[in-house]
Structure 1
C-alpha cells in the first residue's frame, strides 16, 4: 500500500443532530439586546455552517409567551452554552434558562455546560458582583416574597456555572472570531466522537500508517489537497481511510464518505453516488431534483467551492468516477481534503504482466516472491536448470522497468512486488483447488503444511 499526495494552491457524513436521543446539539442562552446581532448571531451562523443543530431563539420579544417551550428545548439539548454579557442577569428569562441548565446537568456524562464570558468576568458571574450585583439588587426589590426562592435558585445556578471552566473573551484579546473558532472546535470534538464510522480492529500497523497519512494531509495548510492510497486488495486501504475520516472529520464544515465506489457506480450509477455526496454536504436539508450527471456535477461544484470539505472516495477504479464526484481540486474551498483509495495502479501493472511470455512470467514471479535483494547470478543457474531462458527474460523485464539489478542483486518497486505476489496468491489459493507454487513468508508455509486436504506442490520455497 502506498500514499500519494496532490497539492493545489488557493483556488464530516455529517455531524448527527441526534446524539444519545437529543433533539439539539447545542442550546444558546443569551440576552438578545446585548449579543444577538453581533457575537451570538455570528456564532450561531458558524455552528450551522458546520452542520451543528443549535437552538437559537430569534423571537426575543415574545420570549415570555414561549418560556416553557424554551425550557423544554434545554432538556432536549446535549451542549448548553450560556453567553454571559453585562446585562444577562437583568433578564428573568435568561436566569430561568441558566437555572434549568443546572437542573438538567448530569455531571458531564451525557450533557455538557460550556459557559462563554463575553464582556464580564467569570468572578462576577460566580459571585454575582459587578454588573450582576446591581441586577440582583433590583430583583430582590421587585420580586414578590413567594418568588424570592426562585431568585435564590438563579443565584445558585450562576455560582455553579460561573465556576465551570469555559471561554473568556479576554483570553482571546477580545478577538471574537478566534473565540468562535475555538469553542466551535470544542463542540465538534464532543459531538463527532459519538458517531464514528466502523473501523476494523487489530489491523497491524494501523497507527503508524495513520501518522504517515496525517503528514501527507497536512491539516495546517489552507490549500486544498488530494491524497491517494493505492495497493492490492486486502491490505487495509479502506480501514486506513476510515480511521483518518473518524479522527479528522471535526475539522471540516462538510464531510462525506462514499464507500464501494467501483461496485456502487456499476450497480446503481454515478448519479446515485452524486446524490449521496450532495445529501452529505447539505446535511439532508436540500431536496433539489437531480436527473442527470451534469446537473449533479454543477450542484456539487456550487456546494463545495466555499466549504472546507473532507471527502473520502473508497475503491475508485475509473477516472469517470473521479470526474463525477471530485472533478478538479479547484472545485473545493480552502483547507479541503479529498482521500481516494484505489487498486488502479495494480490493474495497469497487470496489463503489463499479461503481455509477458511464459519464461518472463515465471522469472518475474520468482523475483517478486523470493528473490528481491538476492543474487541474480545464483538465480540464473537455477532457471537454466529448469530449461528457461533467464538472460533474455531478465533483459526484457529490465526494459519494461519491472526489475532492476544493483550490485548483482535483484531490486523491485514495492508496488510491482505486491502485484506479483497478489497474482501468485490468486493462482495458488487453497480454495481454488490449485497447488502452492511459491511461498515467501512463515505464515504461508505453516498454512500450506497444515492444509492436509490440499495436494501440495512446493515448487519454490524461500528459506532465510
Structure 2
C-alpha cells in the first residue's frame, strides 16, 4: 500500500511537470500589462510549482515598480494548481486599523477555506487557527505590501503551518522584512526598459503612437522622465491622453518644478517609514551626494555623514533595503531620478521659490543668489 502511494505521488509530480512545460504560466496575461510576461518567466523557476516542500518567495523593489501586478498575475495563473488560495492586499494600510491583524487573518482563513466567515478574537488565536486548518492543505497565499517583519510572523508564520507544495508570495518595498522572516528567495523587481516603457505609455496616451514627429519626441521625453517606473508611465499617460501638443510641452516643463502628486505620494510611502535620522541622511544623499564627483571618495562622504550624527553605516543599509538608494561597486550612491525628485520636493516644502527657507540648498544659482542678497544686506 505504501509503495502504491509513493508511486502515485511520483506519477502526479511527473504529470504536473509535463503539464507545466506544455502550458506556460503566461497564457492569459493581460495585454495591457506591458513587461509582465517576461518578468513572470524570471520568477517562475523560483516558485518551483509542482515540487514538494513549502516555499516563501519575496518580491521586492521601489514603490510603483510593479510588485503587486506581478504577484497578482502569478496568482491568477497558478491558483488552480492548489487546494486553496488567497490574495490579501494593502497589508501595510489594513494592519494599522483597529484589530487590523485579526481581520487580515480572517481574510486568509476565509479565502483559503471558502467557508462561512471565520471570526478571530485575538492575534494569537488567529495564528493557531491558520496553522491547524491549513497545515495539511497545499495552499497559495499572496501577502501584498507588507512593511513589518512582525506582521509576517502573524500572517505567514512558519513553513509548518502549510501542507506540502504550498507557496507563500510576499511583496514589500523593504528587503529587511524578507530577510528578517528568512524567506527562501528574494526576487528584485526590474523596471521597464525603453521599448517596454514606450509601449506602456502609448497604451495610456493615444497621442503617443500617432506618427507625428513632435508627439514622438515628446513621448520619448516623458518615457525618459519616468525612468522605467510603470506607475509614472500610467499616471502621465492618462493625464496627457486628451491634451494638445502645446499642453504636453507645458506639462513637461511643469514636472521639472512640481512632480505629479499621484507619483510622489506612492514613492513617499518609503520615506515616511524611515526614522527621523534616516530621513535626514536620505535627504542629504539625494541633495548632495548622488553620483558625487570622482574626487569625492566614498570614505570622505561617510566621514561627513558621520560627523553630522547620522550613523551612516547602519542608516545607509536601511535606505538600500527600502529601495530608496543603490550603491555601485565603487561605493557611489545612486537612486531613481523620481526618488531624488521626491526628496528635493520634500526639502523645498511649502516654499518652493524661496531657497533661504529650505533645509538644504544644492543649486549653484540659489547659493549665488543667497550670497548676493546677504552682501546687499538682505535676509
With normalisation by structure 1, the TM-score equals 0.42
- Structure having the larger proportion of residues in strand: 1
Larger Rg: 1
With normalisation by structure 2, the TM-score equals 0.50
- Structure having the larger proportion of residues in helix: 2
